[in-house]
């Protein structure tokens, strides 16, 4: 009987120890009641971001350590938000267990533009630090927010292919056939050009063959962007009469210009491409691949061709008397299969990757 009693006491003690361990594991950690502060930078500080030094440090943040009452690893997250929004939609910037963080010029510029600031114009964003510990039962603690002023620069505009659609074009209102591309500037992605023949009644631009959105048209004198098919349908870029026009488009500024074309109208029997892109070596300069002339506009040419990495030019009538390249030099091409478009009125070209 005495032996059974000893076993009973041992079971009670072990159960008590197990319960204590679980209570420790479930301990709720509460942060200090007093708010913690961002030490640097000071609220109201101003920074002009320099696009020539994208990898330099633009912002160094430091803040007070939060006390949770017990030794524990604390995670700090830097958060940005549009000013005067009370952090309704905070953007997490970086996470670390230290009480400091650095942000490069390029990173800060991208976030500033994402939060609605305008390039080359000073604007403000709100900054705060969120602290958490490694338990699901702990509540986050937020620093007192600060507001900083930033002047971002214009970021790199993404490459967008644009195709003609509308009564003034070869495609008519079809988005699945005969949609000619316009020509993106090789150095400034936001700028596009097209010089060529249009019927009357204008045109619009689509980004993807087969889809009515995204699309671009006009809203009075400005470019109107249509992100989805449920958005308002923009008006056409005007071509009041059939003829040749020069069209310029800036997607960043949402501006355009269209004027009658009055330049030279030389007619070529053939246009071909030549260069090391055809063979992978200099022997390619002795070879030529002919382009096909558009039935709608005799100055627009096209071919689908697999190219090797290398150099090339376009030339007229099978001779070197008239040729086109990149500002007079060779065109540098990466290996791939492309839908290649060329305009003999202004020498512009487009390489659209294809399968």
pLDDT tens digits, 33-72: 667 999 999 999 999 999 889 999 999 999 999 988 777 8
**Residue 53 vs residues 49, 106, 188: alpha-carbon distances, Å:** 8, 8, 19
Q: Which DSSP letter does residue 29 get?
A: P
Out of 2.60.40.10, 2.40.160.100, 2.70.70.10, 2.60.40.3620, select the CATH number for domain 163-260.
2.60.40.3620
Tokens of 290: 């002919």
Do the domains spanning 163-260 and 271-353 agree at the CATH topology level? yes
Q: Are strands 255-260 and 243-250 parallel, antiparallel or unpaired?
A: antiparallel
CA–CA dist 192, 207 (Å, integer): 13
Tokens of 231: 């958005």
CB atoms closer than 10 angstroms to residue 161: 17
pLDDT tens digits, 258-307: 999 999 999 999 999 999 999 999 999 999 999 999 999 999 999 999 99
Residue 10 has pLDDT above 60, yes or no: no
Cross-strand pairs, 75? 132
Superfamily of domain 38-151: Immunoglobulins (2.60.40.10)
The DSSP element (H or E) to which 112 belongs, if any, is helix 105-114
The DSSP element (H or E) to which 23 belongs, if any, is helix 2-25
Q: Are strands 255-260 and 292-293 parallel, antiparallel or unpaired?
A: unpaired
* Residue found by looking up tokens 């109208």 in the block: 265
Distance of CA 39 to the CA centre of its chain: 33
- The rounded percent of the chain whose pLDDT value lies above 90 is 75
Q: Which of 271, 353, 270, 346 is nearest to 312 (CA)?
A: 271
CA–CA dist 341, 146 (Å, integer): 52
Report domain extents, the chain.
38-151, 163-260, 271-353
* Residue found by looking up tokens 């009644």 in the block: 201
The DSSP element (H or E) to which 290 belongs, if any, is strand 289-290
CA–CA dist 193, 326 (Å, integer): 16
pLDDT of residue 138: 66
Burial state string for 17-46 with b = 16 or more CB within 10 A and e = fewer than 16: eeeeeeeeeeeebebeeeebebeebeeeee
CA angle 46, 124, 60 (to 5 degrees): 50
Residue 114 has pLDDT above 70, yes or no: yes
pLDDT tens digits, 161-192: 999 999 999 999 999 999 999 999 998 899 99
pLDDT of residue 156: 78
pLDDT tens digits, 212-225: 999 999 987 899 99
pLDDT of residue 253: 84
CA–CA dist 279, 274 (Å, integer): 10
CB atoms closer than 10 angstroms to residue 348: 19
CATH topology of domain 271-353: Immunoglobulin-like (2.60.40)
Residues 6 or more apart whose Cβ sits within 8 Å of residue 280? 308, 309, 310
Q: Which of 200, 202, 196, 172 is nearest to 183 (CA)?
A: 196
Would you say the pTM of this structure is higher than 0.75?
A: no
CA angle 184, 159, 300 (to 5 degrees): 30
């Amino acid at each position: 009987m005495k032996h059974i009693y000893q076993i009973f006491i041992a079971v009670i003690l072990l159960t008590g120890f197990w319960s204590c361990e679980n209570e420790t594991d479930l301990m709720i950690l509460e942060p200090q009641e007093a708010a913690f502060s961002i030490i640097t930078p000071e609220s109201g500080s101003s920074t002009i971001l320099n696009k020539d030094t994208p990898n330099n440090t633009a912002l160094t943040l430091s803040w007070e350590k939060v006390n949770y009452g017990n030794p524990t690893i604390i995670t700090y997250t830097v958060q940005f938000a549009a000013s005067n929004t009370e952090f309704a939609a905070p953007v997490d910037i970086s996470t670390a267990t230290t009480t400091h963080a650095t942000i490069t010029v390029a990173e800060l510029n991208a976030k500033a533009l994402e939060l609605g600031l305008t390039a080359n114009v000073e604007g403000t964003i709100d900054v705060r630090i969120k602290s958490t510990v490694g338990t699901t039962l702990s509540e986050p603690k937020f620093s007192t927010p600060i507001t900083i002023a930033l002047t971002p620069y214009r970021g790199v505009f993404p490459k967008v292919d644009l195709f003609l659609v509308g009564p003034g074009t070869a495609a008519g209102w079809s988005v699945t056939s005969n949609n000619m591309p316009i020509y993106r500037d090789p150095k400034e992605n936001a700028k596009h050009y097209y010089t060529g023949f249009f019927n009357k009644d204008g045109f619009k631009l689509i980004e993807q063959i087969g889809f009515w959105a995204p699309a671009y048209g006009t809203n009075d004198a400005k470019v109107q962007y249509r992100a989805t098919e449920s958005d308002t349908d923009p008006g056409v870029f005007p071509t009041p009469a059939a003829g040749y026009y020069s069209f310029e488009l800036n997607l960043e500024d949402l501006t355009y210009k269209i004027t009658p074309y009055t330049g030279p109208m030389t007619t070529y029997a053939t246009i071909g491409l030549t260069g090391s892109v055809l063979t992978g070596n200099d022997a390619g300069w002795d070879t030529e691949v002919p382009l096909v002339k558009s039935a709608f506009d005799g100055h627009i040419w096209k071919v689908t061709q697999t190219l090797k990495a290398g150099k090339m030019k376009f030339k007229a009538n099978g001779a070197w008397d008239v040729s086109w390249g990149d500002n007079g030099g060779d065109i540098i091409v990466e290996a791939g299969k492309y839908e290649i478009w060329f305009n003999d009125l202004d020498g512009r070209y487009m390489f659209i990757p294809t399968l």
